[in-house]
Amino acid sequence: MTENVWRNNPVCRALGIDYPVLQGGMAWIADAQLAAAVSNAGGLGLIAAMNSNGEQLRVQIRRAKELTDRPFGVNLMLMSPYIEEAVEVVCEEGVKIVTTGAGNPAKYMEKLNAAGVKVICVVASVALAVMAERMGATAVVAEGCESGGHVGETTTMALVPQVVDAVSIPVIAAGGIADGRGMAASFMLGACAVQMGTRFLTAAECNVHENYKAKVLAAKDHDTIVTGRTLGHPVRALKNAMTREFQRLENDPATTQDQLEAMGAGALRRAAVEGDVKNGSCMCGQIAGLVKSEGTCEEIVHGICEDALRVLKARA
Ligand code: TUI
């Protein structure tokens, strides 16, 4: 019903999608099923390459191709030990769109651009946004520290307009957005699309463990915390026994970096796949308190766009 409204949206035009909504590349969670469901709803679904090796990623890409005829992408986590393989497989499989996160994609931009892959860099700073534009990025996702997982220092409210002023390519807002008000606010800040992770955690098509979903649905405004600052990669997750122990160790001068790294390793898998939401890491954004229902990807994508339009019209 609202498709026509977004026809000239710069992100919809650049990516060939109907609604300016991207799904975050959540490690251990964003698989072919979730990505295809978001893409079939008219948004942009993304498979999280995370720490997958080339062949594991290839399986997911081929599955997504079977599940959707719409554009979908792959999120490249730049800290992955298999990042070189992942870039290779993305090019070989003819994936058209990539988002990058958790680092500077400089090393891979030339190869991806040469293969005709549109690269959207997820940035937490103006400096990286400017670099991304110079390196030929199609757009940037300005991700504020309200988001779940690996976070920067600046809030969405402060980051988005500063990135908008610094670059000429389209800016997609992320971090703390889960409904039409957040989407409308993003547009007011100069963004022309949104990326959401937390909102899709509870989607019907999301394969994250039921315990994780239940914890997100039960979360309130103060229920997330950032740990891992001393390791140089701060991570936001729902508070639990694991984050409390991590915090205690982080504040103890006797703790070594290796001890902390060991504690973090495998923690997300433990929560997302095994459902151990006490001793695993339930990465999640601050907006979890607003996420009260499950819903299909179609209901989520269409719902947020309709609500955003309603809010924008009401305030005009
Ligand atoms: O990457 C994300 N979110 C993530 S990645 C992830 S997997 C992980 N697990 C444990 C520890 C670390 C990673 C879970 N969530 N979002 C995009 C994002 N990128 N947020 C922050 C950044 C970022 C941070 C530093 C981008 C670049 C950067 O440095 C740039 C440079 O020049 O090195």
pLDDT 10s digits, 225-237: 999 998 889 999 9
Kindly tell me if the per-residue pLDDT of 3 is higher than 90: no
Question: How far does residue 7's CA lie from ligand 1's centre (Å)?
Answer: 31
Residues in the chain: 316
Which atom of ligand 1 has the smallest separation from the CA of 51?
7
Check whether residue 161 and residue 280 sit in a common domain. no
Distance CA 139, CA 125 (A): 14
Check whether residue 182 and residue 99 sit in a common domain. yes
Query: Is the Cβ–Cβ distance between 207 and 23 less than 8 Å?
Result: no
Instruction: Report pLDDT for 292.
Output: 95
CATH at 34:
3.20.20.70
Give strand ranges (E) for the chain: 21-23, 45-48, 72-77, 97-101, 118-123, 139-143, 149-150, 171-174, 193-196, 224-227, 235-238
Q: CA dist 227 to 6, 81, 96, 245, 264, Å?
A: 38, 22, 34, 10, 10
DSSP summary character for residue 44: B
Q: CA dist 101 to 49, 124, 291, Å?
A: 11, 9, 24
Distance CA 177, CA 130 (A): 23
Pocket test for ligand 1, best of 29, 107, 150, 229 (most atoms within 8 A of CB): 150
Give strand ranges (E) for 102-234: 118-123, 139-143, 149-150, 171-174, 193-196, 224-227
pLDDT 10s digits, 269-280: 999 999 999 999
Q: For residue 46, give every residue at least 6 positions away whose Cβ sits within 8 Å of its Cβ, in sequence order, or none.
A: 22, 23, 24, 25, 30, 35, 38, 72, 73, 74, 75, 97, 99
Q: Tokens representing 64? A: 């997504």
Check whether residue 164 and residue 202 sit in a common domain. yes
Looking at the DSSP bridge assignments, the partners of residue 280 are none
Instruction: Report pLDDT for 264.
Output: 81
Q: Tokens representing 266? A: 């495998």
pLDDT 10s digits, 120-162: 999 999 999 999 999 999 999 999 999 999 999 999 999 999 9
Question: How far does residue 146's CA lie from ligand 1's centre (Å)?
Answer: 13
Q: What angle do CA 196, 273, 217 make, to 5 degrees?
A: 50
Check whether residue 214 and residue 190 sit in a common domain. no
- pTM comes to 0.97
Query: Is the Cβ–Cβ distance between 187 and 5 less than 8 Å?
Result: no
Check whether residue 231 and residue 148 sit in a common domain. no
Check whether residue 108 and residue 165 sit in a common domain. yes
pLDDT 10s digits, 190-219: 999 999 999 999 999 999 999 999 999 999
- Interval 300-311 mean pLDDT: 97
Question: How far does residue 263's CA lie from ligand 1's centre (Å)?
Answer: 18
Question: How far does residue 282's CA lie from ligand 1's centre (Å)?
Answer: 16
Which atom of ligand 1 has the smallest separation from the CA of 103?
27
Q: Tokens representing 270? A: 């433990």
Q: CA dist 141 to 22, 144, 170, 225, 292, Å?
A: 10, 9, 9, 22, 25
Tell me which residue of 209, 206, 200 sits closest to 277, measured CA to CA.
Answer: 209
Of 35-39, 143-147, 257-261, least confident by mean pLDDT is 257-261
- Interval 162-181 mean pLDDT: 98
Check whether residue 182 and residue 260 sit in a common domain. no
Q: Identify the domain containing residue 15 by its residue range.
A: 3-206+291-315
Distance CA 101, CA 150 (A): 9
Q: Is the Cβ atom of 124 under 6 angstroms away from ligand 1? A: yes
Residue nearest to atom 23 of ligand 1 (CA): 102
Check whether residue 16 and residue 94 sit in a common domain. yes
Rounded (10°) angle between helices 83-92 and 106-114: 10
How many domains, in total, are found in the chain? 2
Check whether residue 40 and residue 88 sit in a common domain. yes
In the predicted model, what is the mean pLDDT of the chain?
96
Check whether residue 66 and residue 183 sit in a common domain. yes
Kindly tell me if the per-residue pLDDT of 2 is higher than 70: no
Check whether residue 275 and residue 304 sit in a common domain. no
Check whether residue 171 and residue 242 sit in a common domain. no
Band (pLDDT 50/70/90 cuts) for residue 265 is confident
Query: Is the Cβ–Cβ distance between 199 and 216 less than 8 Å?
Result: no
pLDDT 10s digits, 44-85: 999 999 999 999 999 999 999 999 999 999 999 999 999 999
Tell me which residue of 99, 2, 93 sits closest to 46, measured CA to CA.
Answer: 99
pLDDT 10s digits, 6-32: 999 999 999 999 999 999 999 999 999
Place of tokens 């006490």: 278
Question: How far does residue 278's CA lie from ligand 1's centre (Å)?
Answer: 24
Instruction: Report pLDDT for 173.
Output: 99
pLDDT 10s digits, 237-246: 999 999 999 9
Instruction: Report pLDDT for 262.
Output: 86
Q: For residue 192, give every residue at least 6 positions away whose Cβ sits within 8 Å of its Cβ, in sequence order, or none.
A: 9, 10, 11, 20, 170, 171, 172
Distance CA 101, CA 76 (A): 6
